Every structure is written in structure tokens, then in C-alpha cells.
Structure 1
Amino acid sequence: MEPVKILFFMNSLKVGGAERQTIHLINRLNREKYSVGLVYLAEVEDLKPSLETKDLFTCECFARKGKLDFSVLKKLHQIISTHGVQLVVCVEEYPLLYTSLLRLIFRNISTKVITVIHHNIHLPNLWVQAKKYIYRICINSVDKVIFVCHNQAQYWYLNNGIHKSISTVIYNGIDPAFFNPARFTLPEKNRLRESLQFSKDDFVVGICARMNPVKRHIDFLEGLALVKKDGIQIKGLLIGDGPERGNIEKAAGQLGLLDDVAFTGFQQDVRPYIALCDCIAITSRSEAFSMAALETMAMEKPLVMAISGGADEQIKDGETGFLYTFGQIDDLASHLTWLAKNREKAREMGSKARAFLLKGFTLSTMTRSYEANFDQFFS
């Protein structure tokens, strides 16, 4: 039996959770069952080195110009026709918009379409509302829509009118062998702490996120400041970079934390920095199913996470970490204080977090779930 021809269609290969997950999936799909290709709209290719391109039947950037580039439709149609593509997997809505237009124009195309949605839409302005209407039509016309957690799926059903009958949930996953705390020895972690001017006795709280307004790094700093006022030897490690870095550094100064925080900048490999922390905080206003949370869990660190998206599907509150209501800085600080005062219990929480991850949030589990959904169309 010939392998099923699957074409993945993405916005770009920028550094992002949806992009990383898609590349991991492409690399891991069974090549005896599936022949895989990839196309993407924008010439942003940061993650291309991690893509195993040698056995892809195509890997092409469409170099989209403007909001709606009709040359993309021509290129997409040519690839589908030339290679006999049987299934297009659209990652997020913009690639789906092009695929929907293609199906509308070329009605003889029998290619199945799946869309994978990795986010929620929260901004209540007129353009977003217009896009929601357009995308609702596109999403409800696909053969299947995949969400990354149950809370996110419910959000889309209730707020965007997506049909439950065509949807399913597949949790994001990571490679626990790669995110393995045993790779990092105590002397290595202590040396890295010293290089950041942290002592081995400091309770180090990390935040690993792109520095943009949604991630609310300033909430993180305000929480640290409250804990510090209680006389606790706490430090903050900000892993990542982004457009808000200047404002975040300014806030650290205003809160009197310049001697208590360190900025790593962008790191291709975040594992050593997570490894040196005692816990990780996720203060985001909006998450679907946080990759940073999964990485933290795999590295045996407890999480303190604002409730958003699938947070309560990832964390067992009080057992593998703590949940708090977004924006409630006092609660964030209270949880950090408890962890700092109960370090042995914090380590136990971290161990339980990794065990919980191994039960359902691995790349192997994720890949098998995708393959099972693909097989429904071609068995």
C-alpha cells in the first residue's frame, strides 16, 4: 500500500510553540505509512535547521506578499495536483483561509483538510470579530479540527461557534528524554548559578517566555518583590527576550529588584536554565496549552501558573504545583513563599509533575494520536 500523501501548511518556521510542535510531529510521523511535505507562507525560518527535510516530498516557502496573495493559491494547487496530496494539515487559521479559498475555486479537489488550532482569541475589536466570523466558516467546513486541550476546545465552541461534531483534542507533547533533569549535575547547576550571581542557597524562581505584554513579566516581578519583603532569600531568572524587555528591566529597577534578578536573553537551549531554578512561574494572561509548562514538568520543577487555557489540565493544584487567578499578585507571592519555605516538598512536587507528564504529554503519545486521526480518513 502506498503511503498517504500529507501536506502540512504553516504560517512560518518562526520560534513558537505551534511551530515547534508541528516540526516535531513532521519529523516523527511513520514514513512507511505517510509521505510528508511542508509549505509555509512567510520567509521566517528560525526553526528550519530542526526540520528533517531529506525525506519530505516538498519543502517550500510561498513568500506571501500582502494580506491575501493569490499567487499562493496557484502554488498550493500545483503542489496538491503534482504530488497527489490526500490530506492538508493547516496549522492555525491563516493557512486554512488559503486552503478554503482553494477548495471554493477548485471544487473538483477531493483532498481532505484538517486544521490544528493552538491558541484562543481574546481581543474584542472589530477586526478580530470580523476575522472570527470568516474563520468560523472556514473551520466548520474542514473534515476535522484539532484543539490542544479540552478547555480551549470549550472556549472555541462557546465563543466562536465551532461544531463539536468535527473536533477532537490532542494534547501537546514533548520529548522527556531530551528534557531530562538527570542530564544536569549539581556542580553544573551551581556553576551556572554563580555565573548569574545567584548563590546555591537562593530560592530561584524562573520565567521562561517571550517578552511580550501577554506573558505579564511585570506580574512576575511584582510577585518577587512581595516575597522579598517577607525577608525570604528569593531570586528571579528571566529566560528569553522580546519587545517588552526594556519595560521589564525598568520595572525591575522601580521595584528594587536589580540585584535580585538576572536576564538570560534568548536561549536556543533553555534546559540548563530551567534546571538551576527551584520552580517556574507562568503569569500569562492567555495560554492554550503551555509548552513552557510541559518543559518545566519534564525537568521536575513545580509550577506556579495563572489559570488560563489548559492550566488546570496540566497542573494538579497543590500536588504538582499551584494555580492562581490571573492578576492576583498576592496569591502568586503566597505560593512562591510556601515553596521557598518548604523546599523538600517543592522537590517532591517537581518529581510528581514529571511523573504526571509521562502519563499523557509526551511526543510519542501526541504522534500516535495524530496518526490515529489521519488513519480515520484512509483506513
Structure 2
Amino acid sequence: MHIVKLLTKINETGLTTNTLDLTESFVKKGHTVTVFIGKSEYYNDGLKYLEERFADSGANIIWYGNVNKSGILQKILQTVFILYKIVCLKPDIIHAQSPYLSFIPWLLRKKFVSTVHVADLPKRFEYKNATRVIAISDETKKYAINHFQYKEDDIDLVFHGVSLRYENKITNSEIKSLKEKLNILDTDIVIGIVASIEKRKGHDILLNAIDKLGSLNSNIKVLIVGSYKSKNEQGWLENEINNTDLVDKVCIVPYQDPKPFYDMMDIFVLPSRLEGFGLVVIEAMLSKCCVVRSDTEGAYDQISHGETGFIFKNENIEELKSILEHLIKDESLRKRVASNGKEFALNNFTSDIMAEKTIEVYQKVINLK
């Protein structure tokens, strides 16, 4: 099968990671994949890492221009270029990973698939309803029905999955070296988050909860892996850290391959105020971290509270503090839940499972008359 995927740009979000994981799995299964991606002016080492993964995926990557150039002529030229290339490629299926590129197959009058990645996607002219739509959580499925008027029969629920590489721990010597570089002691309990740095991800919620732990803070290190989504947000996290007593306990690492950092974490927390699914939670579970997350989109699809992870009410700092307190004091609980979480993720959330279910969606569209 020849699959065309449309991605507005690369960034440190689940949408990009999902596209990558799917692309790698499709190629591994013998499919031909072409990915159209727009270039971004905002560039850092994290984006370089993601670009390199796309380049090494085995897919045909077509860069179609700078998405930050907002001139009408520029957008028209980019659109014409993509349309022409797709006509020449004659793919079996088109998947608009980025919803605002769904107008491309619509203009071509082609049947296509799109994915609803978040439950706050605003309606815009560029968004066109797909032949079939993939929802990544129960919440995004309801959003597709209520906000975009999809019929339930036209929606497929396909949870995000991640690469099995997260299952294999890096060596103890590599962990030791990385800890030394970050000034983390073996006796420290590492509480981590992997997320783009923005208020929506709730870094401040995590910091405030840890700050309230009092004397339990003595052997805690907070590991933050992520970069700012835009230059306009620079400094927000640093200000939040300075408003706590955790200044000497926080390590910030710019976004890069998160795998080695998961292997250093005792507890992983995703305190987001809004999510689509929370792909990093699955990466952490496969890496055998004990995971804690807010009850935003995807939480109850991923976690059985107290068994495979922990869920707290969105923005409830006291509840998060209480969960962290129990986990810090009870190492056996951390390890038991981490082990259960890994097993659950292996059975339900790998990229191979996601790819197989996505191919089933493509076949439904291809077989439509």
C-alpha cells in the first residue's frame, strides 16, 4: 500500500511523534510511505532529532516550504506543489495527520483519513471532514461528533502506540554517566516530565505539588525534558521555578530523545490541563516508570488508578501532592505499579498495534465505492 501522510510541521508534540511512530511501523510492515512536511523557522536540537528520525524512517520525505511565511502567494504555491506531487504519486490512501491540511485531499476530491488529536480543535476554513476520522481517545471521539458533526459510524478509535525501543533500558553505566552530568545522586528520587514547555502542560502544577511536600523534598530531583514551543513563551517555566523552593532541585534538559531520561525516572508525571491522549505517558509506562497524570483526555484509556498508574483531578495540586507523598514513601508500591503499567502498555499501546488498526481504517476507505 502506498500511503501519503500530511504534516504541517515538525514540533515536540504527540502529533509529530505519532506520525513518526506510524511511519516507521508502516515501512517495517512493507508499505510505501510519503510524508509531506512544512519547514519551520523556529529550530532547535529537539527538532533536529525529530528530523533525523524522519530521515532514517525509510519513508520518502517531501519538504514543501516554510510554513511560517504567511503570505497568500506563498501558501498558494505550497498548496499547488503538494497537489501536483500527490497527483503524480497516485497513492492508495491519504492521511491528513495535521487537520488543517485536510483541504488538500478535499480539493483533489479524494477519499481520505484524518485524525482528531485534541479536544479543542477550532473550526477553520482549511478543515474538511474526512471520509473516516481516527479519534485517539474517547474524549476526542465525542469532540469529533459534537464539534464536527461526524457520525459515530464514521469514526474509528485508535489509541496512540509507541516503539518497542522504550521497553529496553539503557545500561547502568549510561544511566550513571547521565546522572553525574545532571548532578543527580543515586539516592535521589527522580520525578520527571517530558513535555513541551507551555502552561497547557501544567509544569507549574507539578512544581507546586512537589514544593508542598516539605521535608520529603530533601532527596528529590525534578527532571524536566522539553523545549518552549515558541520564543514568545521563553522564561515562563523559569519564573515558576523561582516562585518555589525547588531552584536547586530542578534539572531542565532541552527536548531530545527522551528514552535515556525515562530510564532515570522513578516517577513520571503528566499534569496537563488539556491533552489529546498523552503519548508520553505510554512511553514512560513502557520504560517501566511509575506514572501519574491528570484526568484529562486519554487518562482512563491508559490507566487503571492504583494498578497501572495514578490519576488526579485536573489542577488539583493537593491530590497530586498526596499521590506523590505515598509513592515517595513506598518504593514497593512504585515498583509494583510500574511493572503493571509496562505490561499493560505492551499489550495495548505499541506502535505495531496502532499501525495494524490504522491500516484497517485505510482498508475501509479504500473499499468504499
- Secondary structure at 1:259's aligned position in 2? helix
The 2-side partners of 1:32 and 1:301 are apart by 29
Q: Which amino acid aligns with 2:314?
A: F
Deviations 1:189-213 (A, max 9, x none): 3443343333322222111111111
Partner of 2:17: 20
Deviations 1:2-33 (A, max 9, x none): xx433211101333321122122223325886
Partner of 1:106: none
Partner of 1:374: 362
> Does the alignment pair 1:82 with 2:69?
no
Shift in alpha-carbon separation, 1:170–1:251, aligned structure 2, 3 A: same
**Contact 2:119–2:139 at 8 Å: present in 1 too?**
no
The 2-side partners of 1:33 and 1:250 are apart by 48
Partner of 1:365: 353
Partner of 2:207: 221
Give unpaired runs (5+ residues) of structure 2: 42-46
- Secondary structure at 1:29's aligned position in 2? helix
Q: CA deviation at 1:339?
A: 0.1
Partner of 2:337: 349
Identity of aligned residues (%): 20
The 2-side partners of 1:32 and 1:320 are apart by 30
Q: State the TM-score, normalized to the length of structure 1.
A: 0.85
Partner of 1:94: 100
Deviations 1:238-271 (A, max 9, x none): 12221556232233232111122222233x2222
Partner of 2:188: 202
Partner of 2:76: 70
**Contact 1:181–1:275 at 8 Å: present in 2 too?**
no
Aligned length: 355
Q: CA deviation at 1:57?
A: 5.9
- Secondary structure at 1:218's aligned position in 2? helix
Q: CA deviation at 1:331?
A: 0.4
Shift in alpha-carbon separation, 1:30–1:217, aligned structure 2, 3 A: closer
**Contact 1:90–1:116 at 8 Å: present in 2 too?**
yes
- Secondary structure at 2:169's aligned position in 1? helix
Which residue, 156, 180, 189 being the options, matches 2:175?
189
Q: Which moved more, 1:270-279 or 1:188-197?
A: 188-197
Q: After superposition, where does 1:1-379 map in structure 2 within 5 Å? A: 4-29=1-26, 34-43=31-40, 46=48, 47-52=50-55, 56=59, 59-64=62-67, 65-66=69-70, 69-100=75-106, 102-103=107-108, 109=109, 111-121=110-120, 128=122, 131=124, 134=125, 138-139=128-129, 142-176=130-164, 178-185=165-172, 187-229=173-215, 233-242=219-228, 244=233, 246-266=235-255, 268-378=256-366
Deviations 1:299-343 (A, max 9, x none): 111111111110111111011221011111000000000000101
Q: CA deviation at 1:169?
A: 1.1
**Contact 2:38–2:66 at 8 Å: present in 1 too?**
yes
**Contact 2:27–2:59 at 8 Å: present in 1 too?**
no
Larger radius of gyration: 1
Q: Which amino acid aligns with 2:115?
A: V
Q: Which moved more, 1:232-241 or 1:85-94?
A: 232-241
The 2-side partners of 1:172 and 1:18 are apart by 10
Q: Which amino acid aligns with 2:35?
A: L
Give unpaired runs (5+ residues) of structure 1: 104-108, 123-127
Q: Which amino acid aligns with 1:95?
A: L
The 1-side partners of 2:365 and 2:216 are apart by 59
- Secondary structure at 1:276's aligned position in 2? coil
The 2-side partners of 1:191 and 1:58 are apart by 35
The 1-side partners of 2:59 and 2:215 are apart by 56
The 2-side partners of 1:157 and 1:378 are apart by 23
Shift in alpha-carbon separation, 1:199–1:163, aligned structure 2, 3 A: same
Q: State the TM-score, normalized to the length of structure 2.
A: 0.87
**Contact 2:37–2:61 at 8 Å: present in 1 too?**
no
The 2-side partners of 1:196 and 1:30 are apart by 36
Deviations 1:168-227 (A, max 9, x none): 011111112x11353332x54344334333332222211111111111211111011111
**Contact 1:228–1:234 at 8 Å: present in 2 too?**
no
Deviations 1:38-74 (A, max 9, x none): 2234446743321257965662414454275222332
**Contact 2:312–2:319 at 8 Å: present in 1 too?**
yes
- Secondary structure at 1:179's aligned position in 2? helix
- Secondary structure at 1:248's aligned position in 2? helix
Q: Which amino acid aligns with 2:197?
A: M
Give me the CA root mean square deviation: 2.6
Q: CA deviation at 1:359?
A: 0.6
**Contact 1:236–1:260 at 8 Å: present in 2 too?**
yes
The 1-side partners of 2:64 and 2:146 are apart by 35
**Contact 2:20–2:53 at 8 Å: present in 1 too?**
yes
Shift in alpha-carbon separation, 1:23–1:264, aligned structure 2, 3 A: closer
- Secondary structure at 2:196's aligned position in 1? coil
Q: CA deviation at 1:232?
A: 5.9
